[in-house]
Amino acid sequence: MTDQIPPESFLSPANRCAMELMNNVLYIRKEIPNVTLPPGIGNALNEACDELITAKFDIVSDLHDLDEQLAASSVNLAQSPTVKRILARLDEAAILLHPLVVALGEAAASDERYHLAYLLVAESAVNLLNTHAAIPRPDTGPSND
């Protein structure tokens, strides 16, 4: 992808993803009393939700800073440390639920009582991944792989 992504083409999808973090945390927390969780998963799920909320606030703060930087000068998104920080935080958040989805999937496969908990967390993880995938990425040059 080109490094000349229009700023609004980055800001809007990144903001939508941050909002999706919060919306899914609120949904999970609202629905937790209605599902049966396997032993040990409740604490891990609450910790993941706390991390997602923290990520949402960090990302929104960085998006606000980036918006101010863009208003003050012409920022190259590909070289912006703020953009790199936003993308890194979104990447971390996007995969945060993965271990819980795997654990709940395994639990649901062996005990039907955990099926709704699996669906709840898996659906939220997919919602996050979908909005995450919609964020354009500035080309920051060759990787060091």
Question: Which of 98, 94, 81, 97 lies closest to 17 in space, CA to CA?
Answer: 94
Q: How much of the chain, in percent, has pLDDT values that exceed 90?
A: 76
pTM of the complete model: 0.85
- Give the confidence band of 143 by pLDDT, cuts at 50, 70, 90: very low
- Burial tier of 93 (Cβ tally within 10 Å: 0-12, 13-18, 19+): buried
Using an 8 Å Cβ cutoff, are 139 and 78 in contact? Answer: yes
pLDDT given at position 145: 42
Using an 8 Å Cβ cutoff, are 28 and 49 in contact? Answer: yes
Q: Which domains does the chain have, with CATH numbers?
A: 7-133 (1.20.120)
Looking at per-residue pLDDT, the higher value among 69 and 46 belongs to 46
pLDDT digits (tens, 9 = 90+) for 47-64: 999 999 999 999 999 999
The mean per-residue pLDDT over the stretch 24-50 comes to 96
Termini Cα distance of the chain: 18
- What mean pLDDT, rounded, does the chain reach? 90
pLDDT given at position 141: 52
Question: Which of 80, 61, 60 lies closest to 70 in space, CA to CA?
Answer: 80
